[in-house]
Structure 1
């Protein structure tokens, strides 16, 4: 592949790029950048030229590939001492491990971690999203685009060539992905990798005058737009981590592909989609709780003050850390702290994105500009899992939020069929110590009708029967409140009245770090409340919550 790139350069067909310089960072973006780099510096292994794999902090001696590529943005932006030389070493090592065999389904992909056995070897079966992750091509490929656009001239010529070759190979490899084939699930509804693939193909076609890449970039953009325009919401609806990834991909398109003649189709639409996303998210944001009200299509936690969500990092970069977090503890101590490693990328893109977002939308994230109690109605659609668009209603007040969506799906757990991440009905409230409590439905049915109004949540299973159950994860009480929650009246800060066709008293168990009857989810422990139907009931399964603050 490298020879093709050199041929293109020799013919003058590769578009010229301006000299690399440190990107201008606003104060908030610089704050995020500095904290992310300080965190990375603590877990960086200079002898290996890799970050340790913080997602598994107890994994002895294991490093991680994706976050280490993110680090190269930080090193080149900081550019102190030997930072640029270290970035070049990292890039050379990671690109050397990229799969070069075009016959492999994972061609153009990168190792999940460098110590892993060779994928497809006798002891290491090629299992998608396990021994190899097709989304790594998108995460790393789009990062390399930023490396080339922002910092090319800080790298030796042979590393510049390697970066281009790597982007080209990962982009070709992503063409191997077809939803429903070879266990792959990439459809336009899988928003974040679909957008990363689209942006990478569009950029590669533009830079290398490759009409095939340009064609596919525009084709994938149109497929995304055909779905997006149904409701003007992305399919990975209100997902605190993956909305953040989608925004990064769209901002790469807006920053590097709009100010040219005949920009790719994704660049033509990127700014409007960014504005649309933030318009929706700003209406779901509760600045008193520093959380997005539910429902969440995919989440890695139940309270954004206690886990790192990429969209929280975006808010930090745009309007300040104090807006995103109400916690004096270092962000590196939060659950899912490894996502702090993406901070340098967001910081470099932040000023571009901030210019796109209306000031009136940004103001909604500040508690002093809270728009007051309101109800949001919307729709989202994620075929092939969704039979029909999901109807969303979210009620937001200062101290209590209720959000839910009606759905009819082919499988449990939403579009990613992940019952731990899919949260289509969520209640959050402020508790006696100012912390956030949560009550979120756990997936046990493929179809549910949800009705939300102020202080009420009503859930119905249209295809349920007397064996159906309504299961919820409930936050533990804060320090100083009742330790045990064996009845609803023990919940701190929230009064719950139960109606409907279920038995009004739940079966209670505890899912804890070091004990209980069930495992924790995404590093959050909780009380498991399960409401069952009366024996031999012929009624439609329904639960009705009437909620009030204590």
Structure 2
């Protein structure tokens, strides 16, 4: 590392840690199974019951099609509970997991575990996901496990760290890079692999430095991956050997919770868009890992941004195991913001992001008590997980309806305090789409100047012709648009863009009116 960068990181860290503790009272919670609240314990037990149905042996659930990641967390959860027979079941699971790692150093997939025995996706991120969970198990539960299992865990995480070193994921791949830095620093330090340890330290510093550029992570505003980022920072806080990484982790975690609470609306139980990576539009209708963290923090089912019953993406609840084992660390002021709406605010962010398009992407968002909206400018990456424009509102019966534009590379979106404006980018698309969810929706709701829904009227200002108004099948919604919400009543509205459209002019201006 260059001397100037070392000096920068040192002083930035001193300043940032000082700010992290300045006038900030941190609420911390170290969980044990015995200290879980009634609500937390119910969530935990429901996950275990889903993973091991009554009357089913542990061997029966280790099928060729099951996820090795979720089963690693199942072992972690069983050891956390440690009821009669739990550690024996965990041993069976761990023996099965540990024999399903690719350990040939000469392959690209070196150090990963299978995603499943059949239909393996060869996902390189499984080094970090499973490797980090195994590190938690090694640290917290080694006294419950046979020595040969511990030795196999150590062999597995060494292979994973060596593979992560070869891959060298970039710091802007936020959730994976944070876990990768930890994996390499931990393994390198514990087992005397200095090159790997130093690579982990460097990556952690690079992540920290990148965050400082705009006080945001590159994987911005993801209801799912923000939750993984919190797990990664918790690993830095709890298990990193380096004091420097521990302090960077605490400082980033504190600042990150502050960012989450700025973008979280406890009345709507959602974050506004735009979403850089999202599997849904409403956290009360699909399971998002950030929603799980918030649910545990507020410790109240009525305030929790989660579905009330099992539904889409329920498998993400396996993250309860690492979350409980890492514990909660959140500023008390931010914890209060998760429980009650404070005040309307207009938010802007510059995001250092390398998706196709601008290297700095512009985010604008408006937060109101019962409606909110957000827009993304500068993205050209075509990816259904990206939602470039969103509006959420509360209906008269308390439901959440929404509007979105997808990350299809066609448009730029910005919002003001009162209006969303959608622009064509320089690719000169011939059309673009807007998607709307509202129960009991019909085509008649979409007039040329006004769209009427329960709890919201959207004023429409455009000279464009609407060429299609189609309902979307549920299966297509989930698979084609990365909207996992358990809902019906989606319409796609297609606007035709004339040739040689002036990209400085908005295609459509949408004005929400409650």
TM category (shorter chain) comes to 0.7 to 0.9
- In the TM superposition, residue 454 of structure 1 has moved relative to its aligned partner by 2.3
Counterpart secondary structure, 1:523: coil
Counterpart secondary structure, 2:384: coil
TM-score scaled by length of structure 2? 0.85
- Counterpart-to-counterpart distance in 1, 2:158 and 2:480: 42
- Counterpart-to-counterpart distance in 2, 1:399 and 1:109: 45
- In the TM superposition, residue 36 of structure 1 has moved relative to its aligned partner by 2.4
**What residue number does 2:136 align with?**
146
**CA 1:540–1:252 in 2, change beyond 3 Å: closer, same or farther?**
same
Counterpart secondary structure, 1:113: coil
Deviations along 1:272-328, one digit per CA (max 9) or x if unpaired, are 11111111110111111100111110000011110000000001111123322375x
**What residue number does 1:508 align with?**
469
Larger mean Cα displacement after TM superposition, 451-460 or 141-150: 451-460
Unaligned runs of 5+ in 1: 1-20, 53-60, 117-129, 179-185, 414-418
- In the TM superposition, residue 82 of structure 1 has moved relative to its aligned partner by 1.3
Retained in 2: the 8 A contact 1:148–1:163? yes
The correspondence of residues 119-518 of structure 1 with structure 2, limited to 5 A, is 131-178=121-168, 186-257=169-240, 263=242, 265-320=244-299, 321-325=301-305, 327=307, 329-330=308-309, 332=310, 334-350=311-327, 353-354=328-329, 357-366=330-339, 369-383=340-354, 385-407=356-378, 409=379, 411-413=380-382, 419-445=383-409, 448=412, 450-465=413-428, 467-475=429-437, 477-478=438-439, 481-484=440-443, 487-488=446-447, 489-500=451-462, 502-503=463-464, 505=466, 507-513=468-474
- Counterpart-to-counterpart distance in 2, 1:169 and 1:45: 33
Q: How many residues matched?
A: 475
Deviations along 1:433-479, one digit per CA (max 9) or x if unpaired, are 2111111112332662x3322231112234153x443312211x22x
Retained in 2: the 8 A contact 1:49–1:86? no
TM-score scaled by length of structure 1? 0.80
- Counterpart-to-counterpart distance in 1, 2:322 and 2:75: 10
Counterpart secondary structure, 2:386: coil
- Counterpart-to-counterpart distance in 2, 1:514 and 1:168: 41
Which 4+ residue blocks in structure 1 deviate beyond 6 angstroms?
Answer: none
- In the TM superposition, residue 485 of structure 1 has moved relative to its aligned partner by 5.6
